[in-house]
Amino acid sequence: MQSVITKTQLSNGLVVLLKEIHSAPIISHWAWYRVGSRNEVPGITGASHWVEHMQFKGTSQFPAAILDKAISRDGGYWNAFTYLDWTTYFATMPADKIDLVVRLEADRMLNSAFNPEDVASERTVIISEREGNENEPLFKLGEEIQAAAFRVHSYHHEVIGDRSDLQTMQQEDLYQHYRTFYVPNNAVLAVAGDFETQAMLERIRELFEPIPARGVPPGRIRSEPSQPGERRVTVEGPGETIYLQIAYRAPAAADQDFFSLSVLDSLLTGPSNLNFFGSGISNKTSRLYRALVEGELAVSVFGGLQATIDPYLYTITIIVRPGRTIDEVLSIVEAEIHRLQESPPPEEEVSRAVKQARALFAYGTESITNQGFWMGFSEMFANYDWFLNYLDALEKVTPGDVQHAAQSYLRLQNRTMGVYMPTRDEELFS
């Protein structure tokens, strides 16, 4: 894997990361903005995601009606994502067609249209999207757990926003959010693929450097206080399946403990995929899979550890096997965690967990699109060195480090537990 990049900061504060990869005649272009649900307050929750939608409504230079056709006609594909800490827009194109995307991103950084009729139509789309999410038990359960785990920090609310805010936000709210955060000194441009660095940098400088920097207001991010004890939530809804989700406060991605918890995650539930484009690998050797799925207590079990700016959550999600109870499943989970807290895991088990985490990481870095993703993604919560040093950091994790992570983070006082209870079932606890 090539690791040499060129990092430049333009006079207006835009950070540009360029990585030549000449294995195929394609280029992946990513525009990242340091804005997500973390930057929202009650009244405008969901604004970052809604602004993302509005960015596809076009500008006077690039009307919405021509964009999809132009990119598809040139053999490319594009999309966007909004998350807790960031929003990103990407397009992967044949190398000789990438200039269309560079021009588009420069234009919509400054000139996106927020026409009232488009705002109104997207309100309907986003509320419909939220209603669809609400039909999913894990969304409903996850939202309640997130709200219970964070009472002060803005990680409290889902990225899509609260329904009440989606119904009342106005065009002025969205446009102000856009003008506040979509500025070059709050953005990172990451480009990977078949180009010459100097020529690409000159073109980016020509298109982006005239965009003026503006003051980004200092973040009023409130630190979440220590959790004084376990929190529990229950969600009822239609269906026949019982879901159990256990969430523990986890370290930020830049914290050294993040790597120890990553190995613990791999050992306990199978490695989490930090790449939003990557696929998973088998978790059948993990402790909880063997204890719960092979033990016929659960249909499936998987973990989730996210790379974030501020401390977030490590979650364990379990689909309970019909005929089994929450108490039976929970007792096994707690027993496995207690084992890790009481004594370090065997060296060979840690080595296998590291190899699995390494393999998943490698699968998620193979393509040019993935390379472009990692360049910008790592800058959102740390820097590109975090990505380059990730595998070495995993290799340095010892059995003692895993035990320390279990003792420090997987504590009862540090957890929020939620249960999705099908309304047709009357007896879920033994």
Q: Where are the domains of the chain?
A: 6-208, 231-422
Q: What average pLDDT score do residues 268-297 get?
A: 87
User: What are the distances in angstroms from CA 342 to CA 186, 397, 407?
Assistant: 45, 18, 8
pLDDT at 220: 78
Higher pLDDT, 272 or 404: 404
Read off the pLDDT band of 275 (50, 70, 90): confident
Q: Mapped to the 3 state alphabet, what secondary structure does the chain carry? A: CCCCCEEEECCCCCEEEEEECCCCCEEEEEEEECCCHHHCCCCCCCHHHHHHHHCCCECCCCEHHHHHHHHHHCCCEEEEEECCCCEEEEEEEEHHHCHHHHHHHHHHCCCCCCCHHHHHHHHHHHHHHHHHHCCCHHHHHHHHHHHHHCCCCHHHCCCCCCHHHHHHCCHHHHHHHHHHHCCHHHEEEEEEECCCHHHHHHHHHHHHCCCCCCCCCCCCCCCCCCCCCCEEEEEEECCCCCEEEEEEECCCCCCCHHHHHHHHHHHHCCCCCCCCCCCCCCCCCCHHHHHHHCCCCEEEEEEEECCCCCCCEEEEEEEECCCCCHHHHHHHHHHHHHHHHHCCCCHHHHHHHHHHHHHHHHHCCCCHHHHHHHHHHHHHHCCHHHHHHHHHHHHCCCHHHHHHHHHHHCCHHHEEEEEEEECCCCCCCC
Residue 246 has pLDDT above 90, yes or no: yes
Q: What average pLDDT score do residues 92-106 get?
A: 96
Higher pLDDT, 50 or 366: 50
Which tokens is 428 given? 């879920």
Q: What average pLDDT score do residues 195-218 get?
A: 95
Residue 184 has pLDDT above 50, yes or no: yes
Q: What average pLDDT score do residues 136-146 get?
A: 97
Question: CB of 320 within 8 A of CB of 429?
Answer: no
CATH homologous superfamily of domain 6-208? Metalloenzyme, LuxS/M16 peptidase-like (3.30.830.10)
Which tokens is 45 given? 């929750």
Lowest average pLDDT, out of 155-164, 193-202, 241-250, 266-275, goes to 266-275
pLDDT at 64: 85
Q: What average pLDDT score do residues 14-38 get?
A: 97
What digits encode the pLDDT tens for the residues 299-356?
Answer: 999 999 999 999 999 999 999 999 999 999 999 999 999 999 999 999 999 999 999 9
What digits encode the pLDDT tens for the residues 342-376?
Answer: 999 999 999 999 999 888 888 778 889 999 999 99
Question: Would the CATH topology of 6-208 be identical to that of 231-422?
Answer: yes
Mean of the per-residue pLDDT values of the chain:
94
pLDDT at 105: 96
pLDDT at 279: 62
Read off the pLDDT band of 429 (50, 70, 90): very low
pLDDT at 278: 61
pLDDT at 282: 79
Which tokens is 212 given? 């003026």
Q: Residue 295 half-sphere exposure, CB side, CA atoms within 13 Å?
A: 17
pLDDT at 66: 82
pLDDT at 280: 66
Residues 269, 274, 275, 276, CA torsion sign: positive
Report the C-alpha gap between 106 and 109 in whole angstroms.
Answer: 5
Question: CB of 177 within 8 A of CB of 52?
Answer: no
Percent of the chain with pLDDT strictly greater than 70: 97
Residue 430 has pLDDT above 50, yes or no: no
Class of domain 231-422 as given by CATH: alpha beta
Report the C-alpha gap between 163 and 133 in whole angstroms.
Answer: 12
Question: CB of 183 within 8 A of CB of 177?
Answer: no
Question: CB of 95 within 8 A of CB of 194?
Answer: yes
What is the identity of the amino acid at 388? L
Q: What average pLDDT score do residues 161-183 get?
A: 97
Residue 135 CB partners (closer than 8 Å, separation 6+): none
Question: CB of 84 within 8 A of CB of 38?
Answer: yes
Read off the pLDDT band of 426 (50, 70, 90): very low
**Phi, psi for 117 (deg, rounded to 5):** -70, -35
Q: Per the confidence metrics, is the pTM higher than 0.75?
A: yes
pLDDT at 116: 95
